[in-house]
Structure 1
């Protein structure tokens, strides 16, 4: 059985940057956000179901999911959120399982932004790695990256578990409150640890 590290963290914490560093060291990266984008791109597997559920008004002119419009809808309408999740989540999980089964790396880093909020992947990971930084830094980074205003970012943060709760569930933590160069030694050390655990062939935790 492949050794799987569940990588998570709040919005703007730097999960993608950390994942790229693990990938450079040879780990297999399975990113559920990337899978979701592929499913909802023009011609994506989920588009027909999304059109049936929400109509063409929630698709772009190119036929992809209109993500900003859908984000606004699900924040305002819990039923729409449930509909969206019912369409996307089973498909994302299926594609993630397929990708992990194809892995030829020494271990898998499964990137799941809401790993601890949903619990859907809890039984699939051997360790939980949290990328951590102060909330004010999360807000600033997300605003710079996405163009969302502070109120919009805070509304997203409100849907995620608290920083303290996330850290309480972590087996390993990467501190991303400093410059990007500070990530290297932390990722290197964890990579060595995960190679050792994967080589032992034993799960590192029981959820």
Structure 2
């Protein structure tokens, strides 16, 4: 079990899984059980919202061309820039990671449920598990991951494989996680097992 690196007011469950594993469906189940959910992906978008410190710094660094006509971030242009320039990628990470972590910790502390779920695709890769008391991996076989992602995002097999290759392997996540929830089955079965886990987490969080 992990000890939080920075103290939070709440008992934190880290929820993770590779692309296409169904993290959102499971986090929605936690919300239906009355548990607060903090989503790292949503926070990553919030810290680059119009007029934010993050977006203003990005526009100053890369120029106004990095913005769309409505003033929002041109994510495609930004991806292209950092893909071809490692210095720019490191600069961007140095800017955004502290902003994201600060907001995550604030939201974890402000949660009012019995415990709080931190959803992060790169929970282990970005060491966000240091803030968690326990971790839950949403797990599906690789072929299922690929099929679901292609269908959901309408992208090529090559793109999906590239994304999966950039993430920690399924096997390594399985070794690191405290709990594993198989999401390659009927959602009613997934929900039934999640309710059992939820009861355990309520017990741990007391």
- Residues in 2 aligned to 1:135 and 1:188: alpha-carbon distance in whole angstroms: 25
Pairwise CA RMSD of aligned residues? 1.6
1:38 maps to what in 2? 46
Shift of 1:138: 1.5
Structure 2 residue 45 is the aligned partner of structure 1 residue 48:
no
Per-residue CA deviation, residues 13-33 of structure 1 (Å, 9 max, x unaligned), is: 111111111011011111110
Shift of 1:158: 1.1
Contact 1:32 1:110 in 2 (8 A): yes
- Residues in 2 aligned to 1:99 and 1:144: alpha-carbon distance in whole angstroms: 32
Structure 2 residue 161 is the aligned partner of structure 1 residue 154:
yes
Per-residue CA deviation, residues 58-104 of structure 1 (Å, 9 max, x unaligned), is: 22221222223333443443333222211211111111111111111
- Residues in 2 aligned to 1:139 and 1:53: alpha-carbon distance in whole angstroms: 36
2:177 maps to what in 1? 170
1:143 maps to what in 2? 150
2:106 maps to what in 1? 98
- Residues in 2 aligned to 1:165 and 1:38: alpha-carbon distance in whole angstroms: 30
Shift of 1:6: 0.7
Query: What stretches of structure 1 of length at least 5 have no aligned partner?
Result: 200-207
- Residues in 1 aligned to 2:186 and 2:35: alpha-carbon distance in whole angstroms: 23
- Residues in 1 aligned to 2:168 and 2:11: alpha-carbon distance in whole angstroms: 26
Structure 2 residue 125 is the aligned partner of structure 1 residue 117:
yes
Distance 1:15 1:45, change over 3 A: farther
Structure 2 residue 75 is the aligned partner of structure 1 residue 71:
no
Shift of 1:186: 1.9
Count matched residues: 198
State the SS of the aligned residue for 1:117.
Answer: coil
Shift of 1:144: 2.3
Q: TM-score, normalised by structure 2?
A: 0.89
Contact 1:130 1:166 in 2 (8 A): yes
Shift of 1:113: 1.2
Distance 1:198 1:10, change over 3 A: same
